[in-house]
Amino acid sequence: MYELVQVSECCYYIDCPSKIGIIKTAGSEVCLIDSGNHRETGKKIKRILDEQGWSLRAIYNTHAHGDHIGGNHYLQQQTGCKIYVPAVEHYFAETPILSPSFLYGGNPVTELQSKFILAQESMVEPLTERCLPEGVSILPLPGHTWNMVGFQVDETIIYLADCLSSETTLEKYQVSFLTDVPAYLKTLQQISEMKGKLFIPSHAQATENIAPLAQLNIDKVHEIADRLLAICSEPVPFEQILKKMFDSYGLTLTFEQYALVGSTLRSYLTWLKNEGKIEAVFEDNMMLWERV
């Protein structure tokens, strides 16, 4: 764990629960793609950089989830590095309480203010192409969040952020977090058709052929949609939908899962409603979802 892996003359990644990209720029300067899930990860990153004699120039966050921006604060305090985050996402990095508030739909309970969801704030700037080193370009990957991005280096090394999950992760958690289901499906289709030397997802093994894993994630989206349609064969309130989904997959509800999976299933319901496959009706002061 936290092994430094070189994949090209200038590209590396740190193999950890949420992979961290490293790109060498000029001389001993490097930039990071994401910073891990908390302060301790930031310390481990700094130790690796110091061992290599590298100085940190900038951090490029793919999106503003806690397991990708958690080391920002520590590394910025230690090095004075710049931090760039995609538009919209940068508000969540500057004001991290927005993340659990968004997931919960109100002032978040204490259980949703863990380091996994609530990162320390950092001083960030919006990400643009002008911020990037030569040879690095932004790859839009919306769906997991509204404006998540990945990065291409010389069009051969492709850092994919959270746009897909490993087979093991899908089997364990079943429902991956999404904010925009149709955008996510378009992203997966785009990724499956891309050419490159190496694809590096944050939560799956680096691979030369990403298409099979992209298809596995596409299939999982449609499987979840089919289960929702079956659940909504008769009018049902959201809490019952959530319970039935957890029961059907053998999952256990916690505050974090309630927020993450609950938010995701609402996004699925929005998609299915917009597709004309379900409708929302109001009866006895309850909102019920029903298959059309």
Angle, in degrees to the nearest 10, between helices 211-231 and 181-192: 160
Query: Apex CA 215: angle with CA 209 and CA 218, to 5°?
Result: 145
pLDDT value, residue 278? 98
Q: Token pair of 81, please?
A: 């590095």
| Helix and strand counts by DSSP (H, E) for the chain | 10, 14
Strand order in the sheet with 286-291: 236-237, 286-291, 278-283
How many residues are listed for the chain in this entry?
Answer: 292
Whole-angstrom CA distances from 129 to 24, 68, 142 are 17, 20, 17
Return averaged pLDDT per consecutive 10 residues of the chain, 292 residues in all: 94 96 95 95 97 98 96 97 96 95 95 90 95 96 98 96 96 96 98 96 97 98 98 98 98 95 98 98 97 97
CATH 1.10.10 placement within the chain: 231-291
3-state secondary structure of 226: helix
Q: Which CATH class is domain 231-291?
A: mainly alpha
CATH number of 3-137: 3.60.15.10
φ, ψ at 97 (rounded to 5°): -60, -20
Query: Apex CA 194: angle with CA 188 and CA 196, to 5°?
Result: 130
Q: Is 172 exposed, middle or buried (0-12, 13-18, 19+ CB in 10 A)?
A: exposed
3-state secondary structure of 160: strand
Q: Token pair of 23, please?
A: 């790109």
Whole-angstrom CA distances from 141 to 30, 44, 170 are 24, 28, 19
pLDDT value, residue 61? 98
pLDDT value, residue 26? 85
